[in-house]
Structure 1
Amino acid sequence: MSGDGRLPYDAVLCDFDGVIRHHDPGEMIGLERAWGLAEGTTMKIAMAPERLVPVARGQITTREWVASIVAELEHLLGETERARTLGRAFAEARALLDKEVLALLRRARARVPVVLVTNATVQLEDDLQALGLAHFFDEVVSSARVGAAKPERRIYEIAAGRAGADAVRCLFVDDRRENVEAARALGMTGVLYREVADLRGALAPLLEGDHGPAFA
């Protein structure tokens, strides 16, 4: 808290995958190795802009996205069944939540709005419900619902607006450098997330005097 009693931020805007939610790629990597593909091939295919951007903007369904991944895998493997198996391993990878990150965000939310800002598919709401996070955030800004994806300027402006905060008073946390740089270009305080310590350090001025538990 500053000397005049003003909080350092009026809102916290946080990414989902790579910060709060992590997927276990073990099965997928094992299949890639067994079938002669370089580790990470499936993920690279999935995240290629020509596939990711349409699903992130809600222009195609999650099923269509996975089907396009399988089609490319089939081209590489020369076999339909293995491609489908890898596609299922990608789509059904076990989701893991970082409890310490959630605990820090819960403490932050006691002081300012916490907004989820994520490049997501139209399945996001179902995922949040299944993970017990349907009511965790003050607002959820999903690229598939607003038709704009990070690092596009518009999604940041929507997020700040829903938080009721000026961009320059927002803390933005993401695990992708280009997304953080786009937030900084709008005047936000951008944090490139690599580990929990990054978030803890960024929130320290906001949580000053709050000695709540690190986990919840």
Structure 2
Amino acid sequence: MVRERATALLVDFDGVLRRWDPAVAAGVEQRYGLTPGVLGDIAMQWGRLQPVLVGQVSHADWMASVADALASQSVEPDQARAAVAEWQEYRGEVDPDVLALVREVRAAGLPVGLATNATDLLDADLAALGLTDELDAVVNSSVLGVHKPAKEYFQAACQALRTSPDRVLFVDDDDRMISGARVAGLPAFRWSGPEGLRYVRAALAY
């Protein structure tokens, strides 16, 4: 059976539409004498990360907990807070190829949504990156109260796009999210870089 082409596009933020230069965090860690990779390692510990992704704590509280954890590792508290603050000043960069695709798809009359496990800082990040008016829907886990790859998350995203799941193409760089989307009935494509643009275009009905 040949699947019908999708009539809506749902893209992940980090790793797809937004990319991060690892040299920024590495530079902060070097300047403050921290172990390489420690900022990300602490921030991404699931017990610390999960509450901020579902809106139980704020982005500011999450970062304060990262600074506290650093301070518990024999880093002076003031230095820990300064390092985290400097690390957080960098808000990533827009992938120009993905943004061009988003604009192309919307210009063809298909809705495009952003599907992201994010914090209450998302709207400010979108504004800072000039993306506020580039999307038809933004589905933020911290607003929704549930995060990818939960089926309920994808159901809400499809509702936001006013499109049935089987016609919403989901693009993400994480295998777990791809699997979750497929369980929810969405066609999904694992993003690994601009070489995937050809597939995404071919899978959309325009």
**Alpha carbons of structure 1 residues 33 and 13: separation in structure 2 relative to 1, 3 Å:** same
Once the two structures are TM-superposed, the CA of residue 31 in structure 1 deviates from its matched residue by 3.7
Work out which of the residue numbers 114, 122, 137 in structure 2 matches 1:124.
122
Secondary structure in 2 matching 1:132 = coil
Secondary structure in 2 matching 1:91 = helix
Give CA-to-partner distance per residue, 1:26-79, whole Å, 9 cap, x none: 232134346251x32211211111121111111111110100011111122432
Secondary structure in 2 matching 1:112 = coil
CA distance in 2, matches of 1:187, 1:161: 13
Which residue of 2 is the match for residue 76 of structure 1? 73
CA distance in 1, matches of 2:22, 2:83: 11
What do you get for the CA RMSD once the two structures are aligned? 2.0
Q: TM-score, normalised by structure 1?
A: 0.86
Whether the 8 Å CA contact 2:111–2:161 is kept in 1: the answer is yes
- Give the aligned residue type for 2:178: V
Secondary structure in 2 matching 1:58 = coil
Secondary structure in 2 matching 1:76 = coil
Structure 1 runs not aligned, ≥5 long:
209-216
Work out which of the residue numbers 17, 20, 23 in structure 1 matches 2:20.
23
Whether the 8 Å CA contact 2:113–2:136 is kept in 1: the answer is yes
Which residue of 2 is the match for residue 58 of structure 1? 55
Whether the 8 Å CA contact 1:172–1:191 is kept in 2: the answer is yes
Give CA-to-partner distance per residue, 1:83-112, whole Å, 9 cap, x none: 223212331124211111100111112231
CA distance in 1, matches of 2:135, 2:64: 31
Give CA-to-partner distance per residue, 1:127-165, whole Å, 9 cap, x none: 212222111111111111111111111110000111111
CA distance in 2, matches of 1:167, 1:116: 15
Once the two structures are TM-superposed, the CA of residue 118 in structure 1 deviates from its matched residue by 0.7
Moved more, 19-28 or 111-120: 19-28
CA distance in 2, matches of 1:200, 1:98: 16
Equivalences, count = 203
Whether the 8 Å CA contact 1:25–1:90 is kept in 2: the answer is no
**Alpha carbons of structure 1 residues 80 and 10: separation in structure 2 relative to 1, 3 Å:** same
Structure 2 runs not aligned, ≥5 long:
none
CA distance in 1, matches of 2:63, 2:142: 16
Work out which of the residue numbers 179, 199, 202 in structure 2 matches 1:201.
199
